Amino acid sequence: MHYEDFYRRSIDERDAFWAEQAGAIDWETPPQVICDDSRPPFARWFVGGRTNLCHNAVDRHLAERAGQNALIHVSSETGQERVYSYAELHAEVVRCAAVLESLGVGLGDRVLIYMPMVPEAVFAMLACVRLGAIHSVVFGGFASTSLASRIDDAKPSVVVAADAGSRAGKVLPYKPLLDEAIRLARHAPRHVVLVDRGLAPAPRVDGRDLDYAALCEAQAGKDVPCVWVDATHPSYTLYTSGTTGRPKGVQRDTGGYAVALAASMRHIFCGQAGETFFSTSDIGWVVGHSYIVYGPLLAGMATILYEGLPIRPDPGIWWQLVERYRVTAMFSAPTAVRVLKKQDPSFLTRHDLSSLRALFLAGEPLDEPTARWIGDALGKPVVDNYWQTETGWPVLTLARGLDPRPGKPGSPGVPMYGYDVKLLHEVTGEELTEPHQKGVLAIAGPLPPGCMQTVWGDDARFVDTYWRSFPGRLAYNTFDWGIRDEDGYFFILGRTDDVINVAGHRLGTREIEECIAGHPAVAEVAVVGVADTLKGQAAMAFAVLRDAAAAADAAGRQRLEADLQQHVDARLGAVARPAAVTFVTALPKTRSGKLLRRAIQALCEGRDPGDLTTIEDPSTLRQIQDALAAR
């Protein structure tokens, strides 16, 4: 079937289409109503159906692939490596479920998971959904104040944590951060279950803190069957990164999520049972939920859980794992590729990558130079995709399992089945139907299965935040600018709040970044709008060079800055020319790879950069401060 026909059916014959997709998972009770959208914008998928995420991810595979690899844990931080078969994974999950059940966790209870990339984190997630409990994973190492706000919002009865994580060989103790968070929080969890990795001291609070290994030993041999839940029952909440003020918990259902992921593994990622999937994300982010834990296991694949950096012990570590475990599909982020771009390229050719069919990238816009470099280096298709924490699976990409259409440089692709994607005028809400018109990327309701149900505990906030941006029209706002070409491919131009107004001209910082990134001297760039008394705003660029020696002295920096400004002049016009280009060795990013543009902008304007609990390396902000002071 041509993808256009497949897609059109998902929109025009919605219920019949998704009823077929629902056949990819097991149901204790089949759905009675495929989609109840009687109360827009709230959509209830597979109403009347009863299922269980853990059953579909683990138990149902035991009959045919009990001995097959399921979870492969590799830590280049600790030098540990462990492979769990489906039977072994099942045993560990049942044991963890018995532990949680013994602590009173049951249907609808919340469990907060504050863990590094260790197998116990996956056991805990699967154990929660096995019991019908709702997990809320918080990225390991989050600061105490941010963790406290999430504890207060989710109100967990139990917190599962580890003594510490490790990154770049540096141990980060978690327990002191957790203890302080619980002290700050208004809600007090009954228990903390602690996985002791032996990395850092972890003093216990009597009566509250319990040892995971000891609890598992006490529950050995106990069977805990899956609790069948309504398809609409929440499976988890996940707090969006960069949240300010009160946390915004994205609430996901059970049945719709399972169906959406199972379909995506088949139609988008071409995953087959018995193969190996490698996502380099973290379980603290949505990619980790969807494509480290649930998606690959739903498909009967092995999934790699990797703790470490892409360049330790050397820049070939990822490709070594691809070779060793015969990875067929890999999912990463453009930021990680740019890190590899600075390394010796020979590491990309030292390992047998014949098993790898495609590299998928998401998390931020993929610029053409980066895509071309990694595609040429690997000799494999590079597939961009665009989605959000809120959607749970790709909105725009190429459905490689259905259609061999080629990608287009700079475009994540076309709308995926189920997503009725529109471009809307930012003020009037009018739909823009002509090619190359710039508008706000929006999705007409109902959102397809797998997308957020609501904001946890706040339906009004869900409606007000996402659905009331356009006058006279109820449409989900992605808060991203986009254009669509004559072939139906979309191009993302950046966040609607990343638009700058230079002397009355509205410019997307993403467009300027794309232009500068195309210069052969530049490895990476961030552009922000800074207040300017004359023009309203001015564009400021911060560039990481492929060869730092080019800007080693003042004369070299001046020459290169002028060259980059002329480069922008020639391609976007003088109005888009950055007022200044500052050279740095690294850009400030979150641990998930997103550029902290607002923090950079605040520094440029002499303001407090705000909550930086998600920053990967605080020294990058200090470097920007020093560079600005030196100008």
* pLDDT tens per residue, range 85-102: 999 999 999 999 999 999
**Nearest CA-CA partner of 614 in 594, 587, 598, 600:** 594
Q: Is residue 197 part of a domain?
A: yes
Question: What pTM was computed for the model?
Answer: 0.86
108 and 257 fall within a common domain: yes
Could you give the maximum distance between any two Cα atoms of the chain, in Å?
A: 73
**Nearest CA-CA partner of 50 in 224, 257, 233, 223:** 233
pLDDT of 611 above 70: no
Give 557-597 pLDDT, tens digit per residue. 999 999 999 998 887 777 788 999 999 999 998 776 778 88
Q: What is the pLDDT of residue 563?
A: 94
577 and 468 fall within a common domain: no
526 and 421 fall within a common domain: no
Tokens at 103, concatenated: 């602590």
User: Is 424 in contact with 430 (CB distance < 8 Å)?
Assistant: yes
> CA-to-CA distance for 282 and 210, rounded, in angstroms?
25
211 and 301 fall within a common domain: yes
Q: Is residue 354 part of a domain?
A: no
**Nearest CA-CA partner of 270 in 101, 383, 157, 168:** 383
In the chain, the number of structural domains is 2
Confidence of residue 505 (pLDDT cuts 50, 70, 90): low
Tokens at 320, concatenated: 């070594």
Q: What is the pLDDT of residue 1?
A: 66
Q: What percent of the chain has pLDDT over 90?
A: 76
Q: What is the pLDDT of residue 194?
A: 98
User: Is 418 in contact with 15 (CB distance < 8 Å)?
Assistant: no
184 and 244 fall within a common domain: yes
Tokens at 333, concatenated: 């982020």
Give 192-218 pLDDT, tens digit per residue. 999 999 999 999 999 999 999 999 999
pLDDT of 552 above 80: yes
Phi first, then psi, for residue 105 (nearest 5°) are: -80, 130
The chain-wide mean pLDDT, for the chain, equals 93
**Nearest CA-CA partner of 370 in 546, 591, 597:** 546
CA angle 134, 241, 457 (to 5 degrees): 40
Q: What is the pLDDT of residue 243?
A: 35
Query: Measured in whole angstroms, how far is the alpha carbon of residue 497 from the centre of its chain?
Result: 20
> CA-to-CA distance for 466 and 571, rounded, in angstroms?
35
> CA-to-CA distance for 565 and 578, rounded, in angstroms?
6
Q: Is residue 514 part of a domain?
A: yes
46 and 88 fall within a common domain: yes
Q: What is the CATH number of the domain that holds 24?
A: 3.40.50.12780
Residue where the block lists tokens 């470099």: 373
Which residues are within 8 A (CB) of 305 and not within 5 positions of it... i.e. 6 or more apart? 71, 72, 73, 74, 117, 118, 119, 122, 283, 292
User: Is 215 in contact with 102 (CB distance < 8 Å)?
Assistant: yes
Give 140-183 pLDDT, tens digit per residue. 877 888 899 999 999 999 999 999 999 899 999 999 999 999 99
Q: Is residue 358 part of a domain?
A: no
208 and 140 fall within a common domain: yes
235 and 131 fall within a common domain: yes
508 and 447 fall within a common domain: no
Tokens at 382, concatenated: 């590079």
467 and 604 fall within a common domain: no
Q: What is the pLDDT of residue 503?
A: 63
Q: Is residue 419 part of a domain?
A: yes
pLDDT of 242 above 70: no
Tokens at 239, concatenated: 């707090």
Q: What is the CATH number of the domain that holds 560?
A: 3.30.300.30
Which residues are within 8 A (CB) of 426 and not within 5 positions of it... i.e. 6 or more apart? 439, 440, 496
Residue type at position 3: Y
Looking at 478, 494, 512, the residue that finishes a domain is 478
Q: Is residue 380 part of a domain?
A: no
Tokens at 173, concatenated: 């103790």
Query: Measured in whole angstroms, how far is the alpha carbon of residue 257 from the centre of its chain?
Result: 15
Looking at 444, 478, 512, the residue that finishes a domain is 478
User: Looking at 70-84, 292-306, 516-530, 608-622, which range is the least confident one?
Assistant: 608-622
Q: Is residue 323 part of a domain?
A: no
Q: Is residue 367 part of a domain?
A: no
507 and 474 fall within a common domain: no
Phi first, then psi, for residue 512 (nearest 5°) are: -70, -40
**Nearest CA-CA partner of 478 in 394, 572, 582, 570:** 394
465 and 528 fall within a common domain: no
pLDDT of 345 above 90: no
Residue with the bigger pLDDT between 106 and 493: it is 106
Q: What is the pLDDT of residue 452?
A: 98
Q: What is the pLDDT of residue 164?
A: 96
CA dist 225 → 55, 129, 131 (Å): 9, 11, 8
What's the burial of 207, exposed, middle or buried (CB within 10 Å: 0-12/13-18/19+)? exposed
Confidence of residue 500 (pLDDT cuts 50, 70, 90): confident
Q: What is the pLDDT of residue 60?
A: 98
| Beta pairing class for 414-415 and 396-397 | antiparallel
Q: Reduced to 3 states, what is the DSSP secondary structure of residue 410?
A: coil
Confidence of residue 531 (pLDDT cuts 50, 70, 90): confident
Looking at 462, 478, 494, the residue that finishes a domain is 478
- Residue 614: domain span: 503-630
| Beta pairing class for 439-444 and 420-424 | antiparallel
Confidence of residue 286 (pLDDT cuts 50, 70, 90): very high
User: Is 112 in contact with 157 (CB distance < 8 Å)?
Assistant: no
